[in-house]
Structure 1
Amino acid sequence: MANDKPHAVCFPLPTQGHINAMLHFANALHFMDFHITFVNTEFNHRRSLRKADPACLAGLPNFRFATIPDGVSFPDDDIDRSQDFIALYLSIKRHCVAPLRDLIATLNDPCSGGPRVSCMISDAFTTFTLAVTAELSVPNIFFCSVSPVGYLGSFYIKELIQRNIIPLRSEEDLTNSFLDTVIDWIPGMPNIRLKDLPSFIRTTNPHDIMLNDCWEETHASRDASAIIFNTFHDLDAPVIEALSSVLTPPVYDIGPVSLLSQYIPDHNLLRVNLWKEDSNCIEWLDEQKQGSVLYVNFGSITVLTSSQFIEFASGLANSRCKFLWVTRPDLIEGVTALLPAEIATEIKERSFVTNWCPQREVLSHPAVGGFLTHCGWNSAMESISAGVPMICWPFISDQQPNCRYLCSEWGIGMEIGEEVKREEVERLIKELMEGQKGKEMKRKALEWKVKAVKAASLGGDSWIKLERVIKEAMLK
């Protein structure tokens, strides 16, 4: 009977990458016979209704969507622009506790028609949910959509402050060699540089909200029932071991979650998009030669200056490479993202430019041979899962450590300098798509793909650990 099922309430941080990863994990739990309530915030729910098939948001048997207020308000004609990430994050911390409490009370009402809530799966940076689950005496399992190395770096921010390494002494430290300082005492991250730690350390303000909030959130995890990271053992074993040694709750590496969903047999999978996907790009890819297309996407919150946009566009044009470029309407700060006429004419016959696309399908398409990315963890894991090497231009949060590991530890990335220059963009594209280093990166990327598929296939290490966390934490 449906009312005998365990019931998990899933609450992601409301950005596209975090929603995607949590939804993949929720699909896996649904396959494991859980009743799922997936919680969207009102602003994103409104956006999704405008972009998606309403039937998708209606859910499936024993998988339903719910909505709570988030304190974010935009007029309908401005709803498609990306939220200021920090403003959004602070808003949900202020506004979501009471609505979440009320939602769970409603779900637990016998008249709701579903089983009582058994556990909560919370984004690892929504630790305010602990107050709600403590009142209900149900387990709260943190699902971390940022990388293990990003989370570990955030955990040590307080010690970096105590050692007088951060905050920065002056703005000059951003451009001199100070950010190249080697931090050799963080376990699991040997010889990491200061510049490779999460971006929030790049401040001169000791009271910076995100600087302090990052370490506070990671240390608040001590009250979670468990922490799940979207990764797999072969990729991140040293970092997972280090996290297990410093975090109080048990740590599980379960992923790539996008592959977990893919290997669920005969299962309807749900998706939520904040932009309307353009499936025509797949038809365009079908017409291209194998490995000939560079996919370009800077994610859902990266914002470029007009100058950066032109440098990327010029580098792409000058490379003579075929490419598929996702240019959100709000990709450029303050203006609509439109290519200059002369560049648009130059690239017309060898490019496909769109506002949004089905990324997992794009990355797994045989025509795609490389990915120019912001290094968001969800994008990185999907690229690893597809065996696609990357050109990396990190923007915010864990994207800096992700870039370091993609390039230096795993051998499947090349980094573009912070100051974007068209000549460098052109050179790296040619090296990735045509050069010897690119061939070696593709070889390594395919090796990582094999390991990712092995972990995420039914009966693989990630499914074994999913069964463990269900038994040891969710149903405890």
Structure 2
Amino acid sequence: MELGQRLVTHGAKVTFVNTETTQRVITNNWLEIDKDCKELMQMVSIPDGLEPWEDRNNFDKLLPAMRKRIPSELEQLIEIINKQEDNKITCLIVDFWLAWALHVTKKMEIRRAIFFPASTATLATVMSIPRLIDDGFIDNNGIPRTSEMIRLTKAMPPIKPKNLVWACVGDSSNIKDHFHNHVEIVEAATMTEWTICNSAVELEPAAFNMFPKVLSVGPLLASNRLANQAGHFWEEDSTCIPWLDQQPACSVIYIAFGSITNINQTQFEDLALGLELANRPFLWVVRQGLTKEPTVAYPDGYMDRVGSRGKIVSWAPQQKVLAHPSVACFMSHCGWNSTLEGVTNGRPFLCWPYFADQFHNETYICDIWKTGLRMKEDEAGIITRERIKSKVEQLLSDKTFKSNAMGIKEKVESSVKKGGLSHNNLTIFLDWIHGKDADNKDHQV
């Protein structure tokens, strides 16, 4: 949605297509956005192929259903829009993971582009599937054959075969299905005229060197709207901002693990007690579903002991939180959006990845950018309260992490400003959308 809004501000008319289920969730938590965006960015939805009562978190059912249903629905939608003579679709931009949707443009005069929302290193790994097979890291069904670390180039983050994006979904049958879905996505991606990525060359030079045709246009953030993001899966609790206003500068630990991460009750309690032992102010996002239990259970007497030193919310306006001067560090699952939001605000990280590309991002943070620390598990698979306390103290006592984080922030800020590489790339992409003979007519994306 940030990409859509950026296109709107540069004169494109945008129709944003969600599944019906996602559309309902987002519109329920919709925030006021720029007036021009409201006029030009139309929100529409199509079915995902599942019945209303079926679980959208069950990717084994969701992905095949979407693959079967969405192309025909999307084609019908474009045909309906194109009946309006002055409102025809001239370009289709699809999320990489839905690249097969590009097939609907075969019989239409529509430009094609792919948007990759994760790191370029992750894209490089997926696009290198034939090489991973040839080098013996995976078999022809995507199943890991070794525990040896994968490193596509010396300067790129290594990854364990078991953490490949298709290999972290359960048993070998599931891995096989997801892998062949990825193979189909990669094949469909060859139809595109452009691939743009929500990243910056300054963050991932080696990955962009591997795939020089991928265009960096990020980070795409809501900074131009004072961090008022458009589109939320959860209702934000804005009371955390006045609470942050009352805290000393660079004192608060911010903890948030994204939309789908979950931890068991034992780990939840150790995290709670670790934050207590750290003896610093903390802002903790405890959303519904963070633990597998129906209700969250804090340690006995916990709330009384931490008192006003701890602020717990169900969801936070994260970009505003990370931009706040009282925040000292970010304990994160290392999803790419969260990673970019932390990077652009110069925040050191405590890394707690959950699955897939989050391990790529952890390696960037800890080994390449050197702006954070890993939260290592013990033999029982738990990050203990003592380890949490120790890592907080280590991160915040060593000024090198903050210094490195500020250096990365400055590079990224320069890239998205006028004259910077990401800014220039976005301008090139917009010129292509409008066409070389672009006049003052609106173009529909």
TM-score by length of 1: 0.82
Alpha-carbon distance, 1:162 to partner? 4.0
Q: Is the 8 A contact 2:9 2:36 kept in 1?
A: no
Distance in 1, matches of 2:21 and 2:315, equals 19
Residue 161 in structure 1 maps to residue 133 in structure 2: yes
Alpha-carbon distance, 1:376 to partner? 0.5
The residue type equivalent to 1:429 in the other structure is V
Identify the range of structure 1 (114-123 vs 280-289) with the bigger mean alpha-carbon deviation.
Answer: 114-123
- Alignment gaps of 5+ in structure 2: 437-445
SS of 2:88's equivalent?
A: coil
Residue among 420, 429, 447 paired with 2:382 = 420
Cα 1:341–1:59 shift into 2, 3 Å: farther
Q: Is the 8 A contact 1:153 1:197 kept in 2?
A: no
Distance in 2, matches of 1:412 and 1:49, equals 36
Report the counterpart of residue 207 of structure 2 in structure 1. Answer: 239
Residue among 287, 311, 325 paired with 1:352 = 311
Report the counterpart of residue 100 of structure 1 in structure 2. Answer: 74
Report the counterpart of residue 469 of structure 1 in structure 2. Answer: 429
CA offset digits 1:204-235 (Å, max 9, x no partner) = 62752223333442343111111111111211
Give the total of aligned pairs.
Answer: 429
Determine which structure has the larger helix proportion and give its number: 1
Distance in 2, matches of 1:92 and 1:311, equals 39
TM-score by length of 2: 0.87
Q: Is the 8 A contact 1:108 1:116 kept in 2?
A: yes
The residue type equivalent to 2:420 in the other structure is G
The residue type equivalent to 1:443 in the other structure is S
Q: Is the 8 A contact 2:27 2:231 kept in 1?
A: no
Residue among 169, 192, 209 paired with 1:224 = 192
Cα 1:273–1:219 shift into 2, 3 Å: same
CA offset digits 1:353-373 (Å, max 9, x no partner) = 111111110110101111111
The residue type equivalent to 1:43 in the other structure is T
Distance in 2, matches of 1:256 and 1:40, equals 22
Identify the range of structure 1 (101-110 vs 287-296) with the bigger mean alpha-carbon deviation.
Answer: 101-110
Report the counterpart of residue 107 of structure 2 in structure 1. Answer: 135
Identify the range of structure 1 (453-462 vs 155-164) with the bigger mean alpha-carbon deviation.
Answer: 155-164
Cα 1:299–1:407 shift into 2, 3 Å: same
Alignment map for 1:17-416 (pairs within 5 Å): 23-52=1-30, 60-74=38-52, 83-84=57-58, 87-110=61-84, 115-166=87-138, 179=147, 181-184=148-151, 186-187=152-153, 189-190=155-156, 192-194=158-160, 198-202=164-168, 205=172, 208-244=176-212, 250-258=213-221, 261-263=222-224, 271-416=230-375
Distance in 2, matches of 1:359 and 1:85, equals 27
Percent identity of the aligned residues?
A: 26
Alpha-carbon distance, 1:167 to partner? 5.8
Distance in 1, matches of 2:227 and 2:371, equals 32
Alpha-carbon distance, 1:465 to partner? 0.7
Q: Is the 8 A contact 2:103 2:188 kept in 1?
A: no
The residue type equivalent to 2:383 in the other structure is K
Distance in 1, matches of 2:47 and 2:157, equals 43
Distance in 1, matches of 2:289 and 2:336, equals 21
SS of 2:394's equivalent?
A: helix
- Alignment gaps of 5+ in structure 1: 1-22, 245-249
Distance in 1, matches of 2:7 and 2:101, equals 20
Q: How big is the alpha-carbon RMSD for the aligned residues of Structure 1 and Structure 2?
A: 3.0
Distance in 2, matches of 1:428 and 1:49, equals 39
Report the counterpart of residue 16 of structure 1 in structure 2. Answer: none
Alpha-carbon distance, 1:474 to partner? 6.2
The residue type equivalent to 1:124 in the other structure is F
Residue among 391, 394, 406 paired with 1:431 = 394
The residue type equivalent to 2:223 in the other structure is Q
Distance in 2, matches of 1:429 and 1:84, equals 35
SS of 1:37's equivalent?
A: strand
Cα 1:74–1:221 shift into 2, 3 Å: same
Q: Is the 8 A contact 1:188 1:239 kept in 2?
A: no
Cα 1:84–1:358 shift into 2, 3 Å: farther
The residue type equivalent to 1:218 in the other structure is V
Distance in 1, matches of 2:76 and 2:36, equals 21
SS of 1:183's equivalent?
A: coil
Distance in 1, matches of 2:432 and 2:407, equals 32
Q: Is the 8 A contact 1:182 1:191 kept in 2?
A: no
Q: Is the 8 A contact 2:156 2:207 kept in 1?
A: no
Cα 1:384–1:58 shift into 2, 3 Å: same
